[in-house]
């Protein structure tokens, strides 16, 4: 497992993704954000956060429960390392670096259906 020290970072919510994505240097972040929105088809938004001090991005996947948006997963993206970490309810599920799976924490049942292949549209961006 790769270091997860980014969890101690302070993240700021991105209120207007359209303005942020006008910066062409963030094309990879935009592509990942769009892929996450497409893959996790929830009725709630994918919230985007960025670390002001370091190039680390966090995407919070949500779903509606009793009319409220509830976080169900997170994606951390570190562009300079071409790295993507996927969390489910606070548990690290998988880490990709340079498009290669370097850590997985799937149950044997989920592993038997090649769950990591379900996320191909996310890690292919790396």
Domain count, the chain: 1
Strands (E), 1-126: 12-13, 47-50, 57-65, 68-78, 83-88, 91-97, 100-104
pLDDT of 74 reads 93
pTM: 0.88
- Residue 8, classified by CB atoms within 10 Å of its CB into exposed (0-12), middle (13-18) or buried (19+), is exposed
CA 8, 83, 24, 49 dihedral sign is negative
Range of the domain at 41: 5-123
pLDDT in tens, 14-70: 998 888 898 888 888 998 888 888 888 777 778 999 999 899 999 999 988 898 888
CB 39 within 8 A of CB 78: no
- Collapsing DSSP to helix, strand or coil, 105 comes out as coil
């Amino acid at each position: 497992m790769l270091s997860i020290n980014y969890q101690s970072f302070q993240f700021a919510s991105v209120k207007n993704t359209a303005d942020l994505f006008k910066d062409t240097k963030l094309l990879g972040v935009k592509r990942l954000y769009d892929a996450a929105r497409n893959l996790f088809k929830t009725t709630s938004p994918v919230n985007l956060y960025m670390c002001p001090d370091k190039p680390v991005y966090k995407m919070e996947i949500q779903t509606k429960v009793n009319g409220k948006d509830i976080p169900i997963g997170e994606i951390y993206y570190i562009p300079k390392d071409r790295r993507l970490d996927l969390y489910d309810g606070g548990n690290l599920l998988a880490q990709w670096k340079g498009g290669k799976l370097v850590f997985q924490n799937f149950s044997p049942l989920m592993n038997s259906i090649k769950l990591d292949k379900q996320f191909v549209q996310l890690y292919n961006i790396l």
